[in-house]
Structure 1
Amino acid sequence: MPSLLFKCIPFIHPKPHPSPLSLVTAMSTKTKTRLRGVVFDMDGTLTVPVIDFSSMYKAVLGETEYRRIRQENPSGIDILHLIESWSPDEQRKANEIILDFERLGRERLQIMPGAAELCGFLDSKKIRFATECVLAWSIREVMIWSDRRGLITRNVKEAVDLYHQRFEIVFSPALSREFRPYKPDPAPLLHICSTWDVQPNEVMMVGDSLKDDVACGKRAGAFTCLLDEKGRYCSADFTELDLEPDFKVASLAEVHSLLETTFDLMP
């Protein structure tokens, strides 16, 4: 699998949040907090979930091994890190299976309801926002969009390129899994903060995964917003993983409302 080497990622020392925040459903505040950037996950956040991850894991691991690992990791399987310890031949076969599932996902790619409206709102505020991918457009286009939005994903570059082309919404920086290390490591989020020249505590990470997106944001020192459309997560999950998001929402429309009412959005 091709890789992009980032020889030096400046480390930004995260500053603590001005005050601890509860979930959005229980939050009340009088003073708006400054926010200069929003970083999005892609699959399941900016796009409608279409990849059957359970079937993919079973295809890679086998039914018996999948059940065993799933029992040991009730919060979810990190298949990318898991196969890194395998032999080169085993990794090659596993990656071929993963890529096949991702190709099927690209064929059924759908934008998440509210994504276009949310991006338009952020554009109107001149705020930076990012997603998980590697931007493959011209240098001039990167320059045009670099002050507006970005992304971080564990999917491949081809998926991000397709999102840009099909929905005409461009994110920059956009880091895919070709950027190493990937989520839940905070490196991609810290890289985006460094590129924007902002502190992590001036940025929010939005995603649908507690163990990947929220963990990445927390480790970087950013605000975190968990998109939980179907109510998969509860307080017990937060306690078990010691990962409580600052906010929990059920739609991107709620993210829009949260940003507008709670934060002072600044470029």
Structure 2
Amino acid sequence: MHSLLFKSLPFLHPKPRCFPISHLTTTAMSVNTKTRLRGVVFDMDGTLTVPVIDFAAMYKAVLGETEYRRIRQENPSGIDILHHIESWSPDKQRNAYEVILDFERQGLERLKIMPGAGELCGFLDSKKIRRGLITRNVKEAVDLYHQRFGIMFSPALSREFRPYKPDPAPLLHICSTWDVQPSEVMMVGDSLKDDVACGKRAGAITCLLDEKGRYGSSDFTKLDLEPDFKVSSLAEVHSLLETYFDLMP
């Protein structure tokens, strides 16, 4: 499928509209030639939940101030702390995981659902479209989300499932469980290097949730990752699903 990038879509009442801004071709997705969609897979932190974890503070606590600055300069698009510590000694790795887990548990105390998540999931349910979840957070966080907000995802894969994002394995596992093709599934997340990369590598449709306009074309070029859609809210995901896809269970 040819990549089709959409702007952060302005919220216009009663519902948002989608405006294509990139290279449209005769084979590109359009309202008249809708692509079949059978499932949507979500990231959790920053996508289904409001961001609450101070990742910079967490990385500094794990790496130390000097090492954090060095790695940050080498990786301006972001630090992949989980992959970074995999090469450490068992004892050092264990200590790092304890620090990470402490930050995550503090985040659980402030867990808030992302605006529009309930409505979007309700819409998917009304269309009988499958809902899955992939997070690099722990299973405890996923279980709490299910319990606190009463919205279930299946499969819901936490970082206990290896390998984790940006490896395509968790998304391919969900497609296999659903018995659908990756091209019939959309991956929605707020991270270009984790969520969009995972979706692209699996062959799925990708939607980047960019609430604050962090990402632009230069970021897509730098990482060679161009999402199929870019939105600024989950309400806009609802709109583009209705407009550009044939929703088939």
Q: Which amino acid aligns with 2:110?
A: R
8 Å CA contact 2:210, 2:231 repeated in 1:
yes
* Counterpart for residue 169 of structure 2: 187
Q: Equivalents in 1 of 2:155, 2:221: separation in Å?
A: 32
How many residue pairs are counted as aligned between the two chains?
Answer: 230
Q: What's 1:48 paired with?
A: 50
Q: Describe the SS at the equivalent of 1:26.
A: coil
1:106 is aligned to 108
Quick one: distance in 2 between partners of 1:20 and 1:70? Answer: 29
Tell me the equivalent position of 1:21: 4
CA deviation profile, 1:93-142 (whole Å, cap 9, x unmatched): 10010000000000000000000000000000000111xxxxxxxxxxxx
Shift in Å, 1:20: 3.5
In structure 2, give the amino acid aligned to 1:188.
P
The letter of the residue matching 2:206 is: T
Q: Deviations over 1:50-108 (max 9, x none)?
A: 00000000000000000000000000000000000000110011001000000000000
Are the counterparts in 1 of residues 3 and 227 from structure 2 also a CA contact under 8 Å?
no
| TM alignment of 1:147-226, pairs within 5 A | 151-226=133-208
Residue identity opposite 2:98 in structure 1? E
Report the AA paired with residue 38 of structure 1.
V
RMSD (Å), alpha carbons: 1.0
Shift of 1:26: 1.7
1:65 maps to what in 2? 67
Q: Which amino acid aligns with 2:101?
A: L
Question: Partners in 1 of 2:200 and 2:192 — Cα distance?
Answer: 10
Q: How much does 1:21 deviate? A: 2.1
Match of 1:36 in 2: 38
Q: Tell me, which stretches of 5 or more residues in structure 1 are unaligned? A: 1-16, 131-150
Amino acid at match of 2:187: M
- CA deviations 1:160-184 (Å, max 9, x no partner) are 0000000000100000000000000
Distance in 2 (CA, whole Å) between partners of 1:87 and 1:47 is 33
Q: Does 1:236 align with 2:238?
A: no
TM-score (norm 1): 0.85
Report the Cα distance in structure 2 between the residues aligned to 1:260 and 1:112, rounded to whole angstroms: 20
- List gaps (5 residues or longer) in structure 2: 8-18, 22-28
Percent identity, aligned pairs only? 85
Q: Partners in 1 of 2:210 and 2:120 — Cα distance?
A: 17
